[in-house]
Structure 1
């Protein structure tokens, strides 16, 4: 939407919206959807829109993505569990977006089994027989989980929101303060700006950092199951995984890397070759020949995961718009109601768990919004 739309909205003495979400990645869209489902009038403002599939600084389109059980804390596991069940519902409604698949997890070291907290959650959990494991590995397990077609999933969320009357507006905010007035005065903003939270004036969270992820998108009609090595990251930041995508294109994501504080968004040929070789070693069906060189490559991809020291920040903070800092944090169009008491719900720093926790995070975030409006007796539209 145009700046004309923004200017007209900002000129109103009362906003037509109760909540403004900043950020249109999977987290921002999921939270906006849950708030809309609960009856809130929501608008989204973002630098990158869901259709911007080639913006490397916008992590959501580049994800694999699957539901994988690497959550550690009780809160992380609760969010992932909630999302797992919701993915089950979505897979029945929209099998082209989310669909079940068998996952095969391998490792070398007998002591590196990890915490199988998920074994009573996922269907078909079992330890693999030695005959079912690649020769150069020693141990394994399998279970049924979910795979996600990330570009289509983002488009689905965006289309659903737009159909419900939620505007998704392209605009680069100069500060957090601006979000409270640009569409007319609102009392609550959801900050889902991911890596943007590192530099957004009014947030500037130094704990936020990128983790460079490089993957290869291939076509492999014979590969219908997912694979992963359950091993520590190598010194080059690489770990092997194979994620088939739902849909008729027979696309499979091969990965990948996790390199902290690396902002480079160009694919590295040596990394791509290692990814293809390592994936072929555990799944020869990827190739049309008896070599990794027979894998049909569609594209080489790099995305920056939005990580944070200490993990996800899901926290409601009360603040005052423009108080004493108008020169730095409040441009003219962000000064409506200067000194006004407002709140921001921060929801960023999820790292590699964006999709698999998204619906659980959205439910928890919406609960915090409900509590804040109720406790303050703020009249809703």
Structure 2
């Protein structure tokens, strides 16, 4: 019935499913949490900021290519759905001059890039001394995720709620039938999914404050060292990095997302109100207009909600690769394997892994989907050729 199954219906999984379908591959999506579950802590997508602000470590980082492709492709989405995606000014301010080795790799990709250090722009946000300016994309995270789910269904891609205990189950589900290719976009689920069990996967807790400030139309970032892990030190032993950013949300609500917070290895999903106060104060210092034309302090900012999400991060960066395997190779005993697995033990199959992107899911989703689809198409062509020979 189907050529492949995508596991996961966050922004990465759904973007992959749509891209794979566009290549002529019949695909189904299976996930514990679905795109419409915008209040679920089971996946990170509904809780993201979110905008395009690359974390890639230069052009040698594969993520730079994913980000570059996504930046270009978001143009089409913005034209079709300006309520979900808009291009706005972005001010990236910092306290010390950047060396040549720290120059933004994407300055020739984004629109209207300028180094405003020493410019007549006075004062810079937060009275910082240095600034890079460019125009970037903002997305309405929960609504964009829902849009991807709705688009998938409209194209005939089934999105099935089901909690898999092992990756082997996905190759022969009753509702889908036999497939030889699975695309694993389970995010944090890859830490515990039998057959994957990647110990390098960890949560990077994020917390934001959603506020109402319809007069704020620009992004401001002060995130120096926000994701740093210098000299090989254990991130879990460090004090949480301090950062501040503000991202307006597309749509008529006039909402702005304030952050930032990055705490490694923390699974807590309740809001930390001390941290929320710190975020409000730091963002007010960057942009007093958050409190409105008549606001006197950070206490005048209109808070809508406190949100917490767990970024699906991975030591060493995201995993994006094709793995050829056999069902049952991870030690599924015939005595304890579910029937769907027991009847297929030893069958040669493959999985394309696409997880561990951390907080970069939206900004590299379309590029990652393109690269994953290249691997999927290549494998399926090879697999069909081998089947024909048999």
Per the normalisation by structure 1, the TM-score is 0.92
Residues 1:99 and 2:81 aligned together: no
Shift of 1:74: 3.7
Separation in structure 2 between the aligned mates of residue 330 and residue 27 of structure 1, nearest angstrom = 29
| Correspondence 1:325 to 2:332 | yes
Distance 2:349 2:61 in 1: 30
Counterpart CA distance in 2 for 1:106 and 1:328 is 60
The alignment partner of 1:20 has SS state of: strand
Q: Which residue of 1 aligns with 2:15?
A: 30
CA distance in 1, matches of 2:141, 2:20: 22
Alpha-carbon distance between aligned partners in 2 of 1:151 and 1:111, rounded to the nearest angstrom:
35
Structure 1 CA distance, aligned partners of 2:165 and 2:41? 21
Q: Please say if 1:303 is aligned against 2:296.
A: no
Structure 1 counterpart of 2:169: 178
* Residues 126 and 287, structure 2, Cα contact 8 Å, conserved in 1: no
Task: Give the SS at the match of 1:116.
Answer: coil
The alpha-carbon deviation at position 146 of structure 1 amounts to 0.3
Verify: 1:316 aligned to 2:337, yes or no: no
Q: Which residue of 1 aligns with 2:202?
A: 209
1:5 is matched with: none
Are the aligned partners of 2:211 and 2:304 in contact in 1 as well (CA < 8 Å)? yes
Judge which range, 187-196 or 367-376, deviates more: 367-376
CA contact (8 A) 2:54 2:360 kept: no
Deviation at 1:134, TM superposition (A): 3.6
Aligned equivalents of 1:369, 1:145: Cα separation in 2 = 30
Structure 2 CA distance for aligned equivalents of residues 111 and 313 of structure 1? 30
Aligned CA distance change for structure 1 residues 379 and 217 (closer, same or farther; 3 Å)? farther
Instruction: State which drifts further: 321-330 or 293-302.
Output: 321-330
RMSD of aligned C-alpha atoms? 1.7
Q: Secondary structure of the equivalent of 2:133? A: strand
The Cα of 1:290 is off from its aligned counterpart by: 1.5
Alignment equivalent of 1:284, drawn from 271, 288, 306: 288
Is it true that 1:109 corresponds to 2:100 in the alignment?
no
Q: Does 1:275 align with 2:268?
A: no
Residue in structure 2 matched with residue 147 of structure 1 by the alignment:
138
Q: Distance in 2 between matches of 1:19 and 1:328?
A: 27
CA distance, structure 1, for counterparts of residue 106 and residue 289 of structure 2: 28
Cα separation, 1, equivalents of 2:255 and 2:342: 48
Match in the other structure for 2:152:
161
Equivalence map 1:47-58=2 (5 Å): 47-58=32-43
User: How many angstroms apart in 1 are the aligned matches of 2:325 and 2:354?
Assistant: 16
Q: Could you tell me how far apart the structure 1 residues matched to 2:133 and 2:16 are?
A: 31
Checking the alignment, whether the CA contact within 8 Å between 1:175 and 1:330 is kept in structure 2 is no
TM (norm. structure 2) is: 0.90
How far 1:159 sits from its partner (Å)?
Answer: 0.7
Gaps of 5+ in 1: 1-15
Query: 2 CA distance for matches of 1:350 and 1:329?
Result: 33
Counterpart residue number, 2:56: 71
Query: 1:370 and 1:318 mapped to 2: Cα distance?
Result: 14
Structure 2 CA distance for partners of 1:66 and 1:332, relative to 1, 3 Å = same
In structure 2, how many angstroms separate the alpha carbons of the residues matched to 1:337 and 1:57?
30
Q: CA deviation at 1:211?
A: 0.2
Question: Counterparts of 1:245 and 1:378 in 2: how far apart (Å)?
Answer: 49
* Unmatched tracts of structure 2, length 5 or more: 227-237
Secondary structure in 1 matching 2:243: strand
Q: Secondary structure at the match of 1:118?
A: coil
Report the equivalent of 2:192: 199
Distance in 1 (CA, whole Å) between partners of 2:306 and 2:312 is 20
CA gap of 1:338–1:282, structure 2 versus 1, over 3 A, is same
Q: Does 1:372 align with 2:379?
A: yes
How big is the shift at 1:231?
Answer: 1.1
C-alpha contact (below 8 Å) 2:225/2:241 kept by paired residues: no
Deviates more, 1:191-200 or 1:320-329: 320-329
Shift of 1:337: 2.4
